[in-house]
Amino acid sequence: MKKKILVIEDNEQNLYLIKYILEDCGYEIFSAMDGKKGIEKAASLLPDLILLDIQLPVMDGYAVAQALRQIPVLQKTPIVAVTSYAMPGDKEKAIESGCSGYIEKPIDPDAFASQVEAYLRIKDNNGGGDEKGCTNCR
Q: Please identify, among the stretches 12-20, 38-46, 114-122, 128-136, the one whose residues bind other proteins according to the rule CB under 8 A.
A: 12-20
Report in angstroms how near the CB of residue 76 gets to other proteins at its nearest: 28
Per-residue exposure over 63-95, b if at least 16 CB sit within 10 Å of its own CB, e if not: ebbebbeeeeebeebbbbbbbeeeeeebbebbb
The nearer residue to other proteins, 74 or 99, going by C-beta atoms, is 99
Q: Which of 8, 107, 116, 137 binds other proteins (CB under 8 A)?
A: 107
What is the pattern of x (binds other proteins, CB under 8 A) and - over residues 17-56?
x--xx--x------------------------------x-
State the virtual CA torsion across 66, 71, 75, 79 in degrees, nearest 10: -50
